[in-house]
Protein backbone atom coordinates (compact mmCIF):
# COMPACT_ATOMS: atom_id res chain seq x y z
CA UNK A 1 0.00 0.00 0.00
CA UNK A 2 1.39 3.40 -0.97
CA UNK A 3 0.41 6.46 1.08
CA UNK A 4 -0.14 9.73 -0.74
CA UNK A 5 0.73 12.90 1.16
CA UNK A 6 -1.51 15.66 -0.29
CA UNK A 7 1.20 18.32 0.12
CA UNK A 8 3.80 16.18 -1.64
CA UNK A 9 1.31 15.38 -4.41
CA UNK A 10 0.66 19.08 -5.04
CA UNK A 11 4.41 19.68 -5.03
CA UNK A 12 4.91 16.89 -7.58
CA UNK A 13 2.30 18.45 -9.89
CA UNK A 14 4.06 21.82 -9.69
CA UNK A 15 7.43 20.18 -10.31
CA UNK A 16 6.28 18.31 -13.40
CA UNK A 17 4.86 21.55 -14.84
CA UNK A 18 8.30 23.14 -14.31
CA UNK A 19 9.98 20.17 -16.02
CA UNK A 20 7.47 20.31 -18.87
CA UNK A 21 8.18 24.02 -19.46
CA UNK A 22 11.96 23.53 -19.25
CA UNK A 23 11.91 20.62 -21.71
CA UNK A 24 9.76 22.63 -24.11
CA UNK A 25 11.99 25.72 -23.91
CA UNK A 26 15.06 23.55 -24.60
CA UNK A 27 13.40 22.11 -27.70
CA UNK A 28 13.45 18.56 -26.34
CA UNK A 29 9.71 17.96 -26.27
CA UNK A 30 9.69 16.01 -29.56
CA UNK A 31 12.84 13.99 -28.90
CA UNK A 32 12.36 10.24 -28.60
CA UNK A 33 12.41 8.93 -25.04
CA UNK A 34 14.93 6.19 -25.89
CA UNK A 35 16.84 4.60 -28.76
CA UNK A 36 14.92 1.32 -28.70
CA UNK A 37 12.80 2.04 -31.77
CA UNK A 38 10.03 3.76 -29.88
CA UNK A 39 7.88 6.53 -31.30
CA UNK A 40 7.09 7.89 -27.84
CA UNK A 41 8.59 11.31 -27.16
CA UNK A 42 9.83 12.95 -23.98
CA UNK A 43 6.83 15.26 -24.24
CA UNK A 44 4.49 12.23 -24.39
CA UNK A 45 6.03 10.84 -21.19
CA UNK A 46 5.73 14.13 -19.34
CA UNK A 47 2.13 14.47 -20.52
CA UNK A 48 1.26 10.99 -19.19
CA UNK A 49 2.91 11.68 -15.83
CA UNK A 50 1.10 14.99 -15.53
CA UNK A 51 -2.28 13.42 -16.30
CA UNK A 52 -1.70 10.72 -13.68
CA UNK A 53 -0.66 13.18 -10.97
CA UNK A 54 -3.53 15.57 -11.75
CA UNK A 55 -6.00 12.68 -11.57
CA UNK A 56 -4.66 11.70 -8.16
CA UNK A 57 -4.85 15.30 -7.00
CA UNK A 58 -8.38 15.80 -8.35
CA UNK A 59 -9.62 12.66 -6.59
CA UNK A 60 -7.93 13.46 -3.29
CA UNK A 61 -10.47 13.71 -0.48
CA UNK A 62 -8.29 16.42 1.08
CA UNK A 63 -8.39 18.91 -1.76
CA UNK A 64 -8.65 22.32 -0.11
CA UNK A 65 -8.55 20.94 3.44
CA UNK A 66 -6.16 22.10 6.12
CA UNK A 67 -2.99 19.97 6.54
CA UNK A 68 -4.01 18.96 10.08
CA UNK A 69 -7.08 17.18 8.73
CA UNK A 70 -4.89 15.09 6.41
CA UNK A 71 -3.09 13.65 9.44
CA UNK A 72 -6.23 11.97 10.77
CA UNK A 73 -7.04 10.08 7.56
CA UNK A 74 -4.25 9.14 5.19
CA UNK A 75 -5.17 8.46 1.55
CA UNK A 76 -3.51 5.43 0.03
CA UNK A 77 -3.70 3.64 -3.30
CA UNK A 78 -4.72 0.00 -3.47
CA UNK A 79 -3.41 -2.42 -6.12
CA UNK A 80 -6.03 -1.14 -8.59
CA UNK A 81 -4.98 2.49 -8.11
CA UNK A 82 -8.12 3.40 -6.16
CA UNK A 83 -8.03 5.51 -3.03
CA UNK A 84 -8.38 3.74 0.30
CA UNK A 85 -7.99 5.30 3.72
CA UNK A 86 -5.90 4.48 6.75
CA UNK A 87 -7.89 5.89 9.68
CA UNK A 88 -5.74 7.49 12.35
CA UNK A 89 -2.58 7.27 10.27
CA UNK A 90 0.01 9.96 9.80
CA UNK A 91 0.66 11.92 6.67
**Number of domains within the chain:** 1
Predicted local confidence at residue 8, as pLDDT = 87
Q: Taking 90 as the threshold, does the pLDDT of residue 46 lie above it?
A: yes
Span 68-72, mean pLDDT? Answer: 44
Q: Taking 70 as the threshold, does the pLDDT of residue 64 lie above it?
A: no
Q: Taking 60 as the threshold, does the pLDDT of residue 16 lie above it?
A: yes
| Cβ atoms of residues 53 and 18 within 8 Å | no
Distant-in-sequence, close-in-space partners of 42: CB < 8 Å, separation ≥ 6: 23, 28, 29, 30, 31, 32, 33
Q: Taking 90 as the threshold, does the pLDDT of residue 76 lie above it?
A: no
Predicted local confidence at residue 62, as pLDDT = 65
- Rounded to 5 degrees, φ, ψ at 40 are -80, 130
Span 48-62, mean pLDDT? Answer: 85
Domain hosting 20: range is 2-87
Amino acid sequence: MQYVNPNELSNAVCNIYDVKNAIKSLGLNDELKDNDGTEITIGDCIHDILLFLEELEANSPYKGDEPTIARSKVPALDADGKFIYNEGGTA
